[in-house]
């Protein structure tokens, strides 16, 4: 199947119709708690992150409070999260930097955000998009997988896919489309066993089983 601009537009329109009102699944109460939640979400489900944050917030809902913990203490607080050793170290480093350089506030600037320990391009894009409405497309595993399967944007790296999506999607829809693709990846286009038969995009998806067979 050749993916034309018209097909891409139809893919986006259908995704918008189904997932148009979706938002982040992470629970948060302020910019700091959202930053923490996003940092914890690497290689960890949002459901698990919400369990952890419901346990540590509001007790640790500011850098001033969290920095009071030792590294072993914070590791124990988030022990049921994947990569908790590294994440605890990054969180304490981020708290220290927020207090030393940003008055305890989460910076809005992309370059400033990515200076924080453990905050990369994806995390910075998510934070800026969700908290302050900046147009951004954060490419996580779901966005990467769904974009490549639909050929909405094809790439071998998250950055390549991000750049492809920026070309394929109008800027005013970047932030929303990030959520459409995530939710489609969670609900339908699973990593190991995608539900192609039940997918509302199967007739315009080059990776769908029926589509591939019809075009072979």
Positions annotated as catalytic residues are 122, 140
Tokens of 190: 């699973």
Q: Which two tokens stand for residue 147?
A: 């974009």
Q: Which two tokens stand for residue 77?
A: 């607080």
Whose CA is closest to 115, among 24, 34, 29, 35?
35
> Which residue in 36, 49, 52, 19 sits closest to 186, CA to CA?
19
Q: For residue 180, give the nearest of 213, 214, 212, 138 by alpha carbon.
A: 138
Cis, peptide link before residue 58, omega less than 30° from 0: yes
Give the C-alpha distances (Å, rounded to integers) separating 170 from 37, 41, 72, 127: 28, 27, 45, 20
Measured over all CA atoms, what is the biggest interatomic distance in the chain, rounded to whole angstroms? Answer: 61
Closest among 129, 132, 131, 141 to 166, alpha carbons compared:
129
């Amino acid at each position: 199947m050749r993916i034309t601009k018209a097909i891409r537009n139809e893919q986006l329109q259908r995704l918008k119709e189904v997932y148009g009102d979706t938002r982040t699944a992470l629970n948060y109460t302020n910019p700091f708690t959202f930053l923490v939640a996003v940092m914890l979400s690497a290689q960890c489900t949002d459901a698990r992150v919400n369990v952890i944050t419901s346990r540590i917030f509001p007790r640790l809902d500011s850098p001033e409070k969290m920095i009071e913990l030792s590294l072993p203490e914070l590791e124990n607080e988030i022990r049921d999260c994947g990569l908790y050793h590294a994440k605890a170290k990054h969180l304490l480093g981020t708290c220290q930097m927020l207090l030393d350089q940003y008055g305890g506030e989460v910076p809005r600037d992309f370059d400033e955000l990515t200076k924080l320990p453990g905050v990369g391009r994806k995390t910075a894009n998510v934070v800026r998009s969700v908290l302050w409405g900046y147009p951004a497309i954060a490419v996580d595993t779901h966005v990467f997988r769904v974009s490549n399967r639909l050929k909405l944007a094809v790439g071998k790296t998250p950055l390549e896919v991000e750049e492809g999506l920026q070309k394929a999607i109008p800027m005013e829809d970047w932030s929303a489309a990030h959520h459409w693709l995530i939710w489609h990846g969670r609900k339908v286009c699973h990593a190991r066993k995608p539900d192609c038969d039940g997918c509302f995009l199967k007739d315009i998806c080059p990776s769908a089983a029926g589509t591939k067979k019809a075009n072979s």
